[in-house]
Structure 1
Amino acid sequence: MQAYIANIQGLTAIGIGIIIGLGAIGACIGIALMGGKYIEACARQPELINPLQTKMFLLAGLIDAAFLIGVGVAMLFAFANPLLSKLVAG
């Protein structure tokens, strides 16, 4: 029984690292690409800076929100692991 618990805890820790790591990489790449396109658009048409800036910050928040949802799921598995509770209860 202890071996199963240790196995679940170890694999959960690896999964948490993957969730947070890949989520952070994806968010960074997404914001970097969006920021680059925003700068290109502002250089082409300076009169559109204000509307584009509003949309850029809105999308940056949504990209970060997707990452934070992943962090929330990872913290669920870290502190209230449903897989582990099923094994211990059964």
Structure 2
Amino acid sequence: MDPQLLAGIYSSTAIVVGIVLAAAAFGSALGWALICSKFLEGITRQPEMRAQLTGQMLFTGGLMEAFPMIVLGISMWFIFANPFASAFQAAIGG
């Protein structure tokens, strides 16, 4: 078993997980920006709909916030139960 190759698998996985988490955070921030801008646009068009638009904004934002949490869970699985390292160890018989 080559420890350098195993370390390379772990380090590559950590780098990719970091990139994926950064993309999820950027997507979440962009989503919140779009939701809030459309919310303010809707209020300026119809101020009497503010209560309904607030509920819709918070509901949609809550659904949108679930995405980074799912990505975080999958990322933690890749970090702590690395399937690539397990496959490598099984392939070499270790």
Same fold by TM-score, threshold 0.5 exceeded?
yes
Shift of 1:89: 2.7
Give the TM-score, by structure 2 length.
0.89
Deviations, residues 5-44 of structure 1 (Å, cap 9, x unaligned): 0111111011110111010001001101110110111121
CA–CA distance in 1 between the matches of 2:69 and 2:5?
30
1:78 aligned to 2:79?
Answer: yes
Take 1:44 and 1:55, find their aligned partners in 2: how far apart are those partners? 16
The number of aligned residues is 90
TM-score by length of structure 1 reads 0.93
Structure 1 gaps, min length 5: none
**Structure 2: runs of 5+ lacking an equivalent:** none
Q: Secondary structure at the match of 1:4?
A: helix
What is the aligned-residue RMSD (CA, Å)?
1.0
Runs of 4+ in 1 over 3 A off after TM superposition: none
* Correspondence list, 1:10-29, <5 A: 10-29=11-30
Corresponding position of 2:89: 88
